[in-house]
Amino acid sequence: MQVSTSLEAGVLLDELTEIQRELGKLKGKLKQQHRERLRGSIVEDDVEAVTRALDHLSSAIERLSRRRETFIGEMEARGSEAAGNR
């Protein structure tokens, strides 16, 4: 059960990382379009909103990654401890 949860967390993290990559590409495209063609303040606000959302998503993914690493470490420690008690 615990290993399954760890694997699920890993899959979730991989999926979130892929989403982060795709959103990063979108962010770059939006900024490029903004610089090349669109100069209105509404577009600028949209680009800033996307940028803030991407920054928030990146922070959430980093936190999830740290939690996953901590969880895996704890599970490995418990496994070693259980093996030592046999």
pLDDT given at position 40: 59
Q: How is residue 51 annotated by DSSP?
A: H
pLDDT given at position 77: 86
User: With contact defined as beta carbons under 8 Å apart, do 6 and 65 qualify?
Assistant: no
Q: Is the pTM of this model over 0.85?
A: no
Give the residue, 4 or 23, on which the prediction is more confident.
Answer: 23
**Confidence class for position 43, pLDDT limits 50, 70, 90:** low
Residues 82 and 86: their CA atoms lie apart, in Å, by 7
Average pLDDT over every residue of 24-46: 72
pLDDT given at position 27: 82
pLDDT given at position 69: 84
Give the residue, 33 or 21, on which the prediction is more confident.
Answer: 21
Judge whether residue 1 has pLDDT over 60: no
